Every structure is written in C-alpha cells, then in structure tokens.
Amino acid sequence: MPSYKAPVEDYRFLLFDLLKISERDDLAGFTDLTEDLVMAVLEGGAKICEEVLQPLNQIGDEQGCHIENGVVRTPDGFKEAYKEFCDGGWNALGASEELGGAGLPSVITAAMNEMGNSANQAFAMYGGLTTAAYSALAGTGEQWMRDLVVPKMMHGEWCGTMCLTEPHCGTDLKLMKTRAVGQEDGTYRLSGTKIFISGGDHDMVDNIIHMVIAKIPDENGKLADDLSTVNFFMVPKVNINPEDGTMTDRNGVTVGSVEKKMGIKGNSTCVLNFDDAVAYRLGGAPEKPAADGKKKSSASGMAGMFGMMNAARMGVGIQGVAVGEVSYQNAVAYSKDRLAGRALDGAKNPDGPADPIIVYPDVRRMLLQASSFAEGARALATWVSLMFSEVSAADEKTRQVAGDMTQLMTPIIKAFFTDMGFETANAAMQCFGGHGYIREHGMEQFVRDARINQLYEGANGVQALDLVGRKLGMHGGRPPLTFFGLVEDFIKESADDAAMTPYTAPLSASLKDLQDATMWLLENGLKDRNNAGAASVEYLRLFGIVAVGFMWAQMAKIAATKLADGDSNPNFYKAKLVRATFWMERVMPDTVSLKARACAGAENLMELDAEMF
C-alpha cells in the first residue's frame, strides 16, 4: 500500500530561504506571515493530508463513484473526510477574512494544494473546484450571492463545479450550443449538455453550485457563431431563495451519467443535462452592441470565467508536481527494500542474499529524475504563486514584472509540469519492475491519475499554442524579455563565484538556446502560422526546462552558502546540490535538441494530404 509524507521542510526552505516571504511587508496579507505561523499551517495541513486523505486514495480508486436511486454516491469515507477537511478551515485558507476565510496568500495555499493532491487527487478536486467557484462568485456575483452562497461553499455545506465542455465543443467555445434565455424577473433559463464535469454531482453536500458558460440567443432565438454572446452563469443544483439563502425546489439539472474513465475514479466526473434550469448571469447587465455595430463579449462575466480557468490551470500544473512527489517517495521506499543482484562495483549488503536495487545507477537516475523535477517545479510554482500577490504591489515595476511572469508562466506550468508529472510517475513505476504493474503497490494508479492532468483545463498542445501565439507577443514581447533579463541578472551576479559555475554555465547555454528559438519564432511564426504551431510543444518544454533550471541555480547558491556556514541540517542542502547538478547535467542538455526541433519549421508536418495519413 502506498504512503505519503508531506514535504513541509522543503516548503520552509522555499518560503523563507529562497523567497524570504517574512520580509515582504510591502505585500498585502504578508505582514503577519511569521515562520512559526506558516509552519503551523503547513504542518496542520500535512497532518490531515497524511492521516485522513491519503488512506482513502486507493479506496476511492477501487470503489469509484456510481448512481444509486438517482443520486451519485462517492466512495466510502469521502463524505466524512470532506466534512472534517472543511471543518478545519482547509477549504477557506485563501478566502478573504471579510468573507470568513483565513486570508492567506496564494504562496501558502499552493502548498496546501500540492499536499492534498499528492495525498488524494480525486478527493482534492472537490475542494479545489469549490474554491475556484466561490472565488469567481465573490468577484462577479451579486451581493446576495456573496452574502448567502459563498459562505456555504467556503465552509463545506455546498460544493461548486466549472461547466465548460460540451460533447461537440471543448476548447473552441464558439461551437457551444448551451443557451440561456432571459426572463422578466432578471434570471435566465439555461438548457444544454455539459460533459467531463468534475464533482458534477455527489452525496457529500446538500447543494452544488454550477458555474456554467452559455450563449444568450438573439431576439429570433438564434445563437451567434462567435464569442459575442457567451456569458457566465451561476446555476444551483437546488434552487436558492435570494432573500435568505434557503434551498427551495430542485432545479432543472440532472445527471446523464457518471463517466467511466482511466483514473481519478474517486471523483464524480459527470455528464450534466440542463433543462430550463434557473440561472443567474454573472458580471452585471449584458453589454449593448457597440456604436459601430461590432459584437462584443460580456467582459466582466467572462473575466470571471477566464480568471477561474487560469487559476485552474495553475492548480492542474501543481497536480503534476504532486503526483511526481508521491510517486518518487514510494519508489525510494521500494528501492531501499527490494533486494536483487549485487552492486556493479561490489556487494553493499554482503551479509544479505542480495543488495537493495538503489545501488544501481539506472535506478538512481530514475529517482533523481523524479526528485529533481518535483523539487525544481515546486520552487517555480511557489515563485509564480508569490507573483500573484506581487501583481497588487505598490511598486509599479514590481507589478509589471509580476504581471508579465504570471501570464507567461501559467501555460508553461500547466503543460510542462503535467507532462513531466506523468513521465515521473512512469519512471517511479519502473523502479518497481513488475510489481509496479500490480494494483497493491499503488503505482499504476498514480500513472492513471496523472494522465488526466495533461488533458483537462486546456490540453497541453493548446497551452503551447497559447504560449507562442499570445503570451510571447504580449506588450510588444515584453514578458519573455523580462524573464530573460531575470536569468541574465542572476548569472551576472554569480559570475565571480567559481562554485556556481557548474550551475550557471549550463543555465547560460540553455538560455541561449531558448533565446535563439524565441527569435526564430518571431521571424518565422509571423510568416507562416503553421511554423509557430509546429514549434509550440518543443518550445514550451524548452522554456520549462530553463525556468526550472533557473530555480535550481538559485537553490544551489543558497544550499552552498548554508553548507559553508555549517548549517545544522547538512544532508538536506547536500541533497539540494546533487539534484541541482542532476538537472544541469542530465536535463538542461535537452534544450539543444528541443531548439533544433522547434526551429525545423512546419513544412514536413504539413506536407502530406490528409488522406495520405
């Protein structure tokens, strides 16, 4: 049976040694973030993840969710665990104190997100989506929703979902058929079918608040074939009295089926049918057509939807880190216990029948691949999470850099982390040999669960297109140049430190590959958009490798200083240096081939006619 230990000490290192959050009095919500307070929160979060959520992970996978007498049933223990989770306030860590939450910044809530998903991804998704839903409501909903609906979601009485995808429509929202027809009382009647709705229906709470996108038809009942009438709606499973927040009658929302799927079986992924359901448009009154007659989308409501989607993409990226971490931990435990053969340079366990397989270089390669990814990606996600607070800093330059980095890094974190999370789970499974393929060890579940992360919240190919098609060119190309400048400044600052050369030299070389690929895209992507599309996946991976390498170089510098100063925990910092070296020696060289592939152009990919495939 798998186990999990939350990486609390690594978060201490990231938050207080790397990011120095206790010194950030310039940011709202950081004044009282003492090390003692933050560590108490993380240790409490670790406890519930390790002791309550993790033991339910395999149970959820084996039992799954099913419909019984019209009600979706969750696996044994999930309902009780969700109540305990919310009673402890873990679902409201990031909510403002005004709303009744703890008001902690995203740099802390991201850590809790990772721990929950390592312990039990299927379970963590219920709370994660509810948080995203109530945050969107708090930002775009009417006052009665903020007063009466949001608190119930925060405190675990009600849950939330995000309903975007339709059977014929995923990423291309213009193809949506779900419609919302305005009523005289200001509400709408919403009809259509949504699929792949995580937590779409279940028995853990009394009500579920669906956040739904739909089109408003014109006066002839026709749906536009563009985004101009796409709007964002709140649709409760059970109708709500806006006067006092009490539940009334069942709304027109029914479960078509519970999806049969590869992984995350403890989460009730549903097909939802909306049949004349009462819906509330978010973001104020619909915009009127512009004077020039051009159609416009409803900016405020759609801003809430896109904010929810971007937060979800960051959260899914962190799920990639989470599965990488828990897979690694279990692979290490097995590699230390499993006896097979003798070390290549002589027996290490001469009194036993064989040596543990951790003596073999290839097993160590897989373990270092897993841990260098998990720790490096954790650092990058934590840094970007801090940037989400810096977006509201008083200093204009800080706000600008933070805005550029959060925009630029979101698709990279979503796609690169989830690709690597899946690869890491596979490498960890390989350490088990044939036992990894057997259910009892839990490794095959990690691989199955990890696979969805590359698909939902925008498949990774779409994230790559977003990076090269939108994010690189924002503000005249400023975001990538800002990142390049941050890396170059760090390399210059470390130029006189010979001990840093093993880290800064590979970082400098790979940064040059990234810059060259960026210039190629700027020159060739505009000439032929297929060139940008053909380069996008390799380019995103190249960018991700360099970004994590930037984190590893900074962590190596801190670790070397700690060791030189005689820190009381030398093994922790020695391990940091070893993993940093692994990333520089074994991963960073990939940027050479990635640049070559990214710059190969689209001609070969587009040469065959469709019928020739």
Which residues belong to the active site?
Answer: 457
- Long-range CB contacts (within 8 A, 24+) of 180-183: 180/214, 180/215, 180/216, 180/231, 180/233, 180/279, 180/281, 181/216, 181/217, 182/216
Cα pseudo-dihedral 581, 587, 591, 594, rounded to 10? 180
| Tokens representing residue 127 in the block | 């709370």
| Tokens representing residue 500 in the block | 């840093």
Residue 357 and residue 338 in contact, taking contact as beta carbons nearer than 8 Å = yes
Tally Cβ neighbours within 10 Å of residue 248.
11
Read off φ and ψ for residue 271, nearest 5 degrees.
-90, 125
- Long-range CB contacts (within 8 A, 24+) of 554-560: 554/18, 554/379, 554/490, 555/13, 555/18, 555/375, 555/376, 555/379, 555/580, 556/500, 556/503, 556/580, 556/581, 557/494, 557/497, 557/500, 557/503, 558/13, 558/17, 558/18, 560/499, 560/500
Which residues is 67 bridged to in the sheet?
72
Question: 547-585: string of b/e by CB count within 10 Å (b at 16+)?
Answer: bbbbbbbbbbbebbebbeeeeeeeebbeebbebbbbbbe
Query: Residues 6 or more apart from 100 whose CB is under 8 A from it?
Result: 92, 151, 154, 155
Q: Tell me if residue 413 falls in helix, strand or coil.
A: helix
Output the 3-class SS for 49-70: HHHHHHHHHHHHHHHCCEEECC
Q: For residue 339, what is the DSSP state?
A: B
Distances (CA, A) of 404 to 397, 474, 575: 11, 8, 32
